[in-house]
Structure 1
Amino acid sequence: MPSLPQNVKKPTESRHFFCPKSSFPPRLEDSPCPLSSSIYGHITHNSLTPISVARLSPAGATAMSSFRAAVFLLLLAVASAHDYHDALRKSILFFEGQRSGKLPPDQRVKWRRDSALRDGSTVGRDLTGGYYDAGDNIKFGFPMAFTTTLLSWSIIDFGRTMGPELKNAVKAVRWATDYLLKVTVDPGVVYVQVGDAFSDHNCWERPEDMDTLRTVYKIDRDHPGSDVAGETAAALAAASIVFRSRDPSYSALLLNRAVRVFEFADTHRGAYSSSLHAAVCPFYCDVNGYQDELLWGAAWLHKASRRRVYREYIIKNEVVLHAGDTINDFKQNADGFICSLLPGISHPQVQYSPGGLIFKAGGSNMQHVTSLSFLLVAYSNYLSHSNKAVPCGSHSASPALLRQLAKRQVIY
């Protein structure tokens, strides 16, 4: 899965646009400064499957990383004096600040303008739209697809608690999937990146003003990328569930495309950071192999299509793809992983700061905090629906305890 990006942008010319901290007004919509916080999470190790929540084991990695806003999208069911609605509104609004392409009339971040309207012209394709990555003007397909999958999952499981912001969350998903449909329009090809990351990272400027290279990178049968293609299939499949009742024809288009992209990912196996190493590393290298993305994509296709063939694919390939667990062990390993997060349980996989914040050694600690908060709340819901608790040796963790721990992270 992708590693964390190592490079940061550095200003090179005085004409480039900078934002002193004092210039930020209270309302995000009115700010003249481009956002520079990370919109996308950087995936760390194992992924969850929507079939049984996880194939994570205590010996595995501690978190599937998600974008910084995700935790707020998923915790609205937790009662608190804190204004979660405002946090949710700003989290979704952030996506509008990251939009690329021709902006719609209902764009709420008014200081943004149209940008990158010729993306894809060098290869004869319309690759406009999508989201810029972090504070960059690059469109990386891998983290964008993962973000789309997680945002779709947020709506599927928690949309009923989003209130008036649900419509904006759905729009955020569609802005991404419209782009993912463009990059997968040619059978056997996925356009996985627009822009040269090295030149972009040496030039800090607004997307409306950018003059850096808009190089297009793709994977195909001779240059495989099962990781990014598998994640793209997962995103399209998950989003098809979001639109199943809202726009049935669009939902069918997403699902059919997901099936085709997954078949390509599975047939032509390989890591895209091997095929396109010079372009994608060290930004979003796949450091742990493409196997989990294939199982992740199959799991979402199973959930979206209800076709048994994808469940059979998971059972058949869990050992071949080095998943490490059998499908019957998913629940046991998911429980074990949850136990490893709880304070007071032996051999915890994470530490806690004196103030109660989850801490995992390494860079970008908040990726672990947001991801684990998501997992705790999602898993607590699944436990509640099945009237179950997590057995942790001589202890038992109730759904309420999991929500309490997640709430503590958000309040921190």
Structure 2
Amino acid sequence: MVGYGQNYPRQVHHRGSSIVSFKVDQKSVTCRGGYATWYSRKGSDPNVLTGALVGGPDAYDNFADQRDNYEQTEPATYNNAPLLGVLARLISGSTGFDQLLPGVSPTPSPVIKKPAPVPKRKPTTPPASSSSFVTISQKMTASWSREGKMYYRYSTRLTNRSSKTLKNLKISITKLYGPIWGVAKTGNSFGFPSWMQSLSAGQSMEFVYIHSASPANVLVSSYSFE
């Protein structure tokens, strides 16, 4: 949580927090100017977003306090809303309303049977791409329709099954038709994101992408061990 303790996140992925206040500098900050000047800035945010709950550490308790590491430093609504709801209920105290009181059951409406719609065929998850040391698995985590077109969100997990630290990772991704997060593109391949340099034995990394097609083809091109 930002602003509490001695070691709270200081590079929050938040435009209002990362750009200097108008009271300090009254120069106009354009959309591109904010990205070019302030987003890539390595210093602490000029405005402390006190009380914001960011994504937090990964499954191995690692946390990279970097503004472009949005998965861990962004104060998204799905992080803050549940906490605020619980705190609001606690602070409201006793209202005298018994939520367990039986209510009046409404008269049931007649059930009108409608023909079941033909389910749309969803893309199947491809089998895991694996080697003796590195495994890759994919799964669809969300889908939605927009303007008559279906979109799918896929989560891809890469796991180091060896007993050594994985470095110099290169991933080949083909048949990708949308944005991707959690990996860095270098030439025609992808690798570790900017906040990762290696993957320890037994650990995993995850990246996601969205497009309107079946899962992309994800393969490990090369790597080395330390």
TM band (smaller chain) = under 0.3
Looking at secondary structure, tell me which structure has more strand per residue: 2
Provide TM-score, normalisation by structure 1: 0.17
Provide TM-score, normalisation by structure 2: 0.27
Looking at secondary structure, tell me which structure has more helix per residue: 1
Q: Which has the larger radius of gyration?
A: 2
Higher relative contact order (CA 8 A, sep 6+): 1
